[in-house]
Copies of this chain bind each other. A is one copy, B any other.
């Protein structure tokens, strides 16, 4: 999807947040914001928002001399979610449809991404998410697609943020338990709170799947810029589960056996998703969960 003019103010708001994490010096924060604002007019709005955002986060890293401003947040969200893992597993096993429950927790984890900025009752939010329906619900289609897979098939799982990576891991473990080959792709370089290969290794996810990077430091999956290795896995995958907004924004027009599993976090994506899924009802409000089969699913 393209960058909307409405993304420009939002970029700057996010950069203000990143700048505060990256440096405590108000003058430096101000400089970052000013320089970020000066970059906006040059943005190519035909590119996706995550692709355009890369230059802004690079600016924060350089001007604050801080290559990974979100490092602490990422670590604490991984730890908090990992501590909840036994109880998540318990809920999933007790559910009428454990695979659906795991999908919902994975989407719920994407909502909890918000938590990094606010006080948040993790358990309560997760319980509420499990009780909620997907605003766009292709869960039956995804379950059927999984059921059709055999041992020769590969599932490519595109991860998003730290924290929710724990829930991604549970879903991946269930897929691996069916004898499928699963490849988890994360980011090559730190960007916002996106998970990298090291995060997955620390959480032990490499016990159930191959963990690779997509070769970029973009908060999404800009196919043309991704590594050859990643592109090969993308082409050979029988099923691709794409987590989060950034991956949807960069892959909504990509050909492939894609399902998008995400929490809608802004009205621009909500609107695009409504049209994308040819949905008549009003677009999902921010915080709603969506599971959408890709328009170019073969």
Contacts and interface: CB of A to CB of B under 8 A. Distances in A.
A9 B12 contact: yes
A35 interface: yes
Contact of A33 (B8, B13, B19, B26): B8
A111 interface: no
A40 interface: yes
A151 interface: no
A40 B31 CA distance: 11
A264 to B, nearest CB: 18
A38 interface: yes
A170 to B, nearest CB: 36
Interface in A15-50: 15-16, 19, 26, 29-30, 33-35, 37-38, 40-41, 45
Contacts of A147: none
A35 B41 contact: yes
A37 B9 CA distance: 9
A121 interface: no
A9 B16 CA distance: 8
A33 B37 CA distance: 10
A45 B16 contact: no
A16 B12 contact: no
Q: Which secondary structure dominates chain A's binding surface?
A: helix
A298 interface: no
Contacts of A9: 9-10, 12-13, 15-16, 33
Nearest to A35: B41
A11 to B, nearest CB: 8
Contacts of A34: 8, 40-41
Q: Which 6 A-B pairs have the closest CB atoms?
A: A9-B12, A37-B40, A34-B41, A9-B13, A5-B30, A37-B37
Given A8-B16, A38-B38, 9 more contacts: A5-B19, A5-B26, A5-B29, A5-B30, A5-B33, A8-B34, A9-B15, A34-B40, A35-B41
